[in-house]
Structure 1
Amino acid sequence: MEARLTDRLMTAFFIIIILSTGSCENDLFLKFCGIWHHGKNPLSLNVGLSTGCSKFFVSANESSLSINGNITSQCRRFDVIPLKRYKLDSEKDIHFCVHWEPMLDQLMLQLGDMNFILCKPSSSPASCCTDLSDDTREPNASYGIFNGMIKGDLVQSQTITGYNFKGAETPCKELCEQAKQKGSDWTKSFELPCAEKSESEMEKGFSGTNVTSDYFHSAPTVYVPPAVKPDTTMKSKVVITFYKNNSLFQEGFKTSNLLNDVVEVTVENEVIVDLPKPIRMNFPHDVIPKNHARQCVSWDTRKDPWAVNWLPDGCETQTKGAKHTECLCNHLTYFSVLVHPNLRPVRHLLALTAISSLGCALSFISCIALIVFFWRNRRRSKEQSLSIHVGLAVSLAFLSLLFFLTAVLANVVGERVCVWVGALLHYATLSSLTWMGIQVFHTFWLVYVVFRPSPKPYMWYLIGFGLPLVPVVILAAVGGFYGMTQVVPEDDVANPYRMCWLKTDTESDKTFLAICLTNMTAVAVLVISGALMLFVVYREIRTRDEWQQKRVAFLSIWGLSCLFGTTWGLVFLEFGPLSDFILFLSCILNSFQGFFLMLRFCMLDWIRKQANGSVLGSTSSGSTRQHMLQASEKS
């Protein structure tokens, strides 16, 4: 009996010790989520934050969501933000989450798909507002917050006007020591977001300084040049803050990500830009895969102070082996290294996208008009290449439509649907190239095999629409090639252009090989054969009297240059100082190709009508065959 009683007392003693040990640990972070039930009025976000640690309120009504209270160490903010310009579905209830990290004095609101930075991260505040507990005494209401949850635990399922939190002020150094005791080697495997601030005085004659963190293992090294010191002050202070594992900085990235290390460089009460000698920051990191690229970026807080916006402007990237990246930047803000799939950033992507969209829309309409034109005149025309013209118009219309819609579909449909859209877009591209190749072969047939009939139309349809299916079906059967991909704009790497196409973010070597074996091979064969065919046709007709008397032959040559893929060959010339010009020229000629095709047939039809000829007898291959027959009869 005594032994049993002794065991029970010992068990109770250990439970008390465990509970007392747990109660000493502070509840560092707050994650409060809920659903905002609002009305149909214009919506707004109201922010009222000041320093202290007394009360924190999250409330909502028919038209506004409010974040108020005394919770921060340094941050003060009072704003009313209209939500009309943000992409929020105001017709439905909106899910939101409030994230509070006291060790960084950082507060973020996730509202729908948008993230609002209410308080930017700062370094090592003296006091932290922790142990925020629910002190709700708000009544039920028609509009407000329902399904309120704290760290995933449901607090209130009914709709109430708001939630009140009360906290306790704690020295931040104690919290860091508390976190340090949780890991055996904390400086090497620290997972919590944290920051360290280093301050350096810059007096007269300042010659530059190197700064690194003694707090974090493998932290960046920052060289501050003499040009950072303002000439207007005798003494100033440069503040360098090292951030570690802060998830806030990763906002907005899907396939790309930043390094865990972020450096903030500031000079008190000064805005420093256009430095004659840049700041040098050496970022150590793990080995970056060969199929990924590194790019130094800085956080532009001027464009939208409520959002994280990383840009490469003002920074130069220098790779120092597989484990080091050096950034040279001419201004002061937050800095880090963006790691993304090895895609070449595209200059002027917004302008190119606008041109492509306009060109594809116009080409689709033009191709549909051409198909109707050919169909109405199919009985009057004896043109043997009519089926080829129809096949090319159909393939170009399909390609233009898919390319015009791919960006919309990539942002609306899921990954599974995007796989099918990417496969269809690849098929449409190969089919268009194949029909252009058929044009090349058919013209060669008419030039050198004058008295033999050309193959039946069903043969052309079988080749033009059936042959491209083979590589697409093979790639789809293997899997992993089609889906969501991204084109990175050079001026805004954090907001890539999404489309359904061949994937470039995973298994890039295999995807590159697939692109080379399909698209690039088809383009190369098409360009070479097209150039040879232009030379052959010109050599055959340059001695005819019609060359000087009529413009049909010239327009035939011009039409062949558009149809036989010489414009696609511009992709091989995109280098050097004329790369931007070649890029825009290629974009215009290829996206408007359906329109140029219609324009060519309209001009040829008009010229033939002026000469009282047939409606469709002046097509490139048809006129070539006619001239060859006339030459044979004369001989």
Structure 2
Amino acid sequence: MIDLDTDSAMQREMMKLFEIKDSCLHIFPRFPEVKKYFIKLEEKMIHNIMKDSKLEAGGSKTHNLKSLSLNLNNISESDLNLTGTNSRIQIEAPQLLPQNKSFIPEIWLPVDALQHIPQEKRLVGLVSYMENTQFKFNQENISSMVVRIELLGGHRLHNLKTPIKMIFRGLEVGNIDNHSQLLCNYFDVEDTCWRTNGCETYNVTDDNRTDITCICNHTTPFAVLLMREPIAKIHWEILSYISYIGCGLSAFFTALSLVIYVFGRSHKMDYSISIHVSLSGALFLLNTTFLLTEWGATVEPDWVCVFVAALMHYSLLCCFTWMAIEALHLYLLLIKVYNTYYKHYLLKLSLAGWGIPAVIVGISLGVKDFKQFYGVTHMTMSDTNQTNSICWITDDSFFYSLNLLYFTLIFVFNSGILVAVASSICKMKQVFRSRSRLGAEGEGGKTWRDPQRLSESCRGGLTVLGLTCLMGTTWGLAFMGSGYVNLPILYLFCILNSTQGFFIFLWICLSAKKQRKREMEERLSSTPVKNTTLKSD
């Protein structure tokens, strides 16, 4: 074996390419297009180095470059002189870490596939990478060295009868939970994502370390990734049907709520109904946007998917915000009884309900030069190795840190309001009972107001309690069921999420009915007064 330094022009160009990458660390991780172009340019340079390497049959060379090492092997006929239909020949990958030889995987290539390649083109290149930042597009947890297999002229081995065999030894498994697993993956250069299609994984674990055997039927960059346990096909299909049918029904009922509000509203309509309808509008926007997530991932240009993902995030935050406004309105109505008149009250609530989420999403979109938070995300079905692309938040840490914090603050706020309302209801009950026992006839005007206010407090408390339980429980389950592993939580989330629009629609109808009944009673009570006045004249 000959160890060559950077003596050729192509090797110097490769070194320069990695120097550019290392000098632009503030740009390289943030722009997927730059990474994709880098990978393709690197692949082209590797093929040029292979083309310039003049090796005799059976010869080999090692090119030690910055951040990677390339082993070239010209496979001779004598090397392939093996027997057996499933026979393979072992090819040594280049060693980047001499102190840890077990880090380099053992690789066997199928003899029958190599025999179909002419001798002059039977040059195999194995690349070992010191780092893997260029292969990370969606915060993948790459647990092994990335190794790629290249053939002269860009020739690919695919649909192999005798698959390629790789063994990654001594991988750490101490931090793996019950819902994660080590899986063999290949890197799809065109779609810039890791996939498991055509690869099977076998592992043997001993003392928190495991040996992973990868059996793959094609040649590409390979690695072992620590992945969440994906959802099976049957559950995927059932949950998809529940989600789409449920969101469609929820969108229908929320739209119906808006129509009833627009055509049935009056000047005396209670603010509570307007707030209920605003929450219903946020749900309508969320459900309709959800129905577009898969479509947006297939549309060009890319900004369409970014727009759909950002709009869905905005509508989700609007739902949380209007849920908090429901509790705030109840507090002002039932707890802070005096001095509750606010000029342009509904306008101010609307600015908060629709404006705060807009500011959050606007800032998230504004930092796209630093980090792109919205775009295409990929989900995998375990027993089919198929991926499903949707438009959503691409950064898991951003999703959970922002949304979970926002949801928690609103849930705690609503819980505090509910405690205050419950305490107020208990106090009013005690006052009402004490007055009833004393028989305070002289305060009849006040005693009849106490049960009315008590009834309004109970109804308002039940409203916020119902909305908090309905939406709070639903989205709490969404955060609890992170990943696609807890099937009962996922099914419960999909079912509850499907009923939100329907229950809010029923509540709006009941509120509107009570409003009309109240207006009718006011008109009837005012009629005798007018008749008496006419008679006295």
For the aligned pair, the TM-score class normalised by the smaller chain equals 0.5 to 0.7
Which runs of 5 or more structure 1 residues have no equivalent in the other structure?
A: 1-175, 202-210, 224-238, 248-252, 269-279, 300-307, 505-510, 618-635
User: Where does 1:464-503 land on structure 2 (aligned, <5 Å)?
Assistant: 464-479=353-368, 480-491=371-382, 494-503=385-394
The residue number in structure 2 matching 1:189 is 70
Deviations 1:557-596 (A, max 9, x none): 6533346623222235438999321122123223442233
| Deviation of the 1:240 alpha carbon | 9.2
Query: Which residue of 460, 474, 496 maps to 1:589?
Result: 496
- Matched-pair contact (CA < 8 Å) for 1:399–1:425: yes
- Matched-pair contact (CA < 8 Å) for 1:312–1:491: no
Aligned equivalents of 2:160, 2:210: Cα separation in 1: 18
**Against the structure 1 CA distance between its residues 398 and 191, is the aligned structure 2 distance closer, same or farther, given a 3 Å change threshold?**
farther
Aligned equivalents of 1:577, 1:484: Cα separation in 2: 20
Structure 2 length normalisation: TM-score? 0.55
Aligned equivalents of 2:413, 2:483: Cα separation in 1: 26
Aligned equivalents of 1:614, 1:194: Cα separation in 2: 92
The residue number in structure 2 matching 1:397 is 284
- Matched-pair contact (CA < 8 Å) for 1:363–1:592: yes
- Matched-pair contact (CA < 8 Å) for 2:171–2:210: no
Task: For residue 189 of structure 1, give the secondary structure of its aligned residue in structure 2.
Answer: strand
**Against the structure 1 CA distance between its residues 603 and 590, is the aligned structure 2 distance closer, same or farther, given a 3 Å change threshold?**
same
Task: State yes or no: 1:216 paired with 2:92.
Answer: yes
- Matched-pair contact (CA < 8 Å) for 1:487–1:498: yes
Task: For residue 291 of structure 2, give the secondary structure of its aligned residue in structure 1.
Answer: helix
User: Where does 1:192-591 land on structure 2 (aligned, <5 Å)?
Assistant: 214-217=90-93, 220-221=105-106, 259-260=147-148, 282-283=167-168, 295-297=182-184, 310=197, 315-316=202-203, 326-327=211-212, 345-346=230-231, 348-379=235-266, 381-453=268-340, 455=342, 456-479=345-368, 480-491=371-382, 494-504=385-395, 512=397, 514-541=398-425, 543=429, 556=463, 559-562=466-469, 565-574=472-481, 579-591=486-498
Aligned equivalents of 1:378, 1:193: Cα separation in 2: 82
| Deviation of the 1:477 alpha carbon | 1.5
- Matched-pair contact (CA < 8 Å) for 1:346–1:490: yes
**Against the structure 1 CA distance between its residues 465 and 351, is the aligned structure 2 distance closer, same or farther, given a 3 Å change threshold?**
same
Report the structure, 1 or 2, having the larger strand content.
1
**Against the structure 1 CA distance between its residues 389 and 337, is the aligned structure 2 distance closer, same or farther, given a 3 Å change threshold?**
same
The residue number in structure 1 matching 2:38 is none
Aligned equivalents of 2:304, 2:205: Cα separation in 1: 39
- Matched-pair contact (CA < 8 Å) for 1:484–1:501: yes
User: Where does 1:111-122 land on structure 2 (aligned, <5 Å)?
Assistant: none
**Against the structure 1 CA distance between its residues 554 and 438, is the aligned structure 2 distance closer, same or farther, given a 3 Å change threshold?**
closer
Identity %: 24
Deviations 1:90-136 (A, max 9, x none): xxxxxxxxxxxxxxxxxxxxxxxxxxxxxxxxxxxxxxxxxxxxxxx
**Against the structure 1 CA distance between its residues 573 and 420, is the aligned structure 2 distance closer, same or farther, given a 3 Å change threshold?**
closer
**Against the structure 1 CA distance between its residues 212 and 355, is the aligned structure 2 distance closer, same or farther, given a 3 Å change threshold?**
same
Task: For residue 337 of structure 2, give the secondary structure of its aligned residue in structure 1.
Answer: coil
**Letter matched to residue 321 of structure 2:** T
- Matched-pair contact (CA < 8 Å) for 1:345–1:490: yes
Aligned equivalents of 2:496, 2:60: Cα separation in 1: 62
Deviations 1:466-516 (A, max 9, x none): 111222222212113234332422415843221222223xxxxxx62x334
**Letter matched to residue 375 of structure 1:** V
Aligned equivalents of 1:374, 1:458: Cα separation in 2: 17
| Deviation of the 1:418 alpha carbon | 2.0
| Deviation of the 1:259 alpha carbon | 4.8
- Matched-pair contact (CA < 8 Å) for 2:62–2:72: no
Task: For residue 91 of structure 2, give the secondary structure of its aligned residue in structure 1.
Answer: coil
Deviations 1:48-103 (A, max 9, x none): xxxxxxxxxxxxxxxxxxxxxxxxxxxxxxxxxxxxxxxxxxxxxxxxxxxxxxxx
Structure 1 length normalisation: TM-score? 0.47
| Deviation of the 1:370 alpha carbon | 0.4
The residue number in structure 2 matching 1:26 is none
- Matched-pair contact (CA < 8 Å) for 2:59–2:74: no
Aligned equivalents of 2:302, 2:207: Cα separation in 1: 36
The residue number in structure 2 matching 1:598 is 505
**Against the structure 1 CA distance between its residues 350 and 576, is the aligned structure 2 distance closer, same or farther, given a 3 Å change threshold?**
closer
| Deviation of the 1:333 alpha carbon | 7.4
Aligned equivalents of 1:418, 1:551: Cα separation in 2: 44
**Against the structure 1 CA distance between its residues 388 and 344, is the aligned structure 2 distance closer, same or farther, given a 3 Å change threshold?**
farther
Aligned equivalents of 2:112, 2:251: Cα separation in 1: 54
| Deviation of the 1:241 alpha carbon | 8.9
**Against the structure 1 CA distance between its residues 199 and 366, is the aligned structure 2 distance closer, same or farther, given a 3 Å change threshold?**
farther
Aligned equivalents of 2:315, 2:286: Cα separation in 1: 5
Task: For residue 486 of structure 2, give the secondary structure of its aligned residue in structure 1.
Answer: helix
**Against the structure 1 CA distance between its residues 365 and 345, is the aligned structure 2 distance closer, same or farther, given a 3 Å change threshold?**
same
- Matched-pair contact (CA < 8 Å) for 1:222–1:281: yes
Report the structure, 1 or 2, having the larger helix content.
2
- Matched-pair contact (CA < 8 Å) for 2:330–2:460: no
**Letter matched to residue 473 of structure 1:** G
Aligned equivalents of 1:577, 1:217: Cα separation in 2: 35
**Against the structure 1 CA distance between its residues 241 and 522, is the aligned structure 2 distance closer, same or farther, given a 3 Å change threshold?**
farther
**Letter matched to residue 283 of structure 1:** F
Task: For residue 392 of structure 2, give the secondary structure of its aligned residue in structure 1.
Answer: strand
| Deviation of the 1:260 alpha carbon | 2.9
Q: Which has the higher contact order (CA 8 A, sep 6+)?
A: 2
| Deviation of the 1:457 alpha carbon | 0.8
**Letter matched to residue 370 of structure 1:** S
Aligned equivalents of 2:394, 2:484: Cα separation in 1: 29
Deviations 1:528-557 (A, max 9, x none): 223333344344446487999x99679636
Task: For residue 377 of structure 2, give the secondary structure of its aligned residue in structure 1.
Answer: strand
Task: For residue 260 of structure 1, give the secondary structure of its aligned residue in structure 2.
Answer: strand
| Deviation of the 1:337 alpha carbon | 5.8
Aligned equivalents of 1:355, 1:194: Cα separation in 2: 55
- Matched-pair contact (CA < 8 Å) for 2:185–2:224: no
- Matched-pair contact (CA < 8 Å) for 2:229–2:483: no
Which runs of 5 or more structure 2 residues have no equivalent in the other structure?
A: 1-53, 95-103, 115-123, 128-135, 150-156, 187-194, 433-450, 523-537
Aligned equivalents of 2:306, 2:484: Cα separation in 1: 37
**Against the structure 1 CA distance between its residues 573 and 378, is the aligned structure 2 distance closer, same or farther, given a 3 Å change threshold?**
same
**Letter matched to residue 189 of structure 1:** L
User: Where does 1:62-211 land on structure 2 (aligned, <5 Å)?
Assistant: 178=56, 183=61, 189-190=70-71
Deviations 1:118-175 (A, max 9, x none): xxxxxxxxxxxxxxxxxxxxxxxxxxxxxxxxxxxxxxxxxxxxxxxxxxxxxxxxxx
**Against the structure 1 CA distance between its residues 197 and 472, is the aligned structure 2 distance closer, same or farther, given a 3 Å change threshold?**
farther
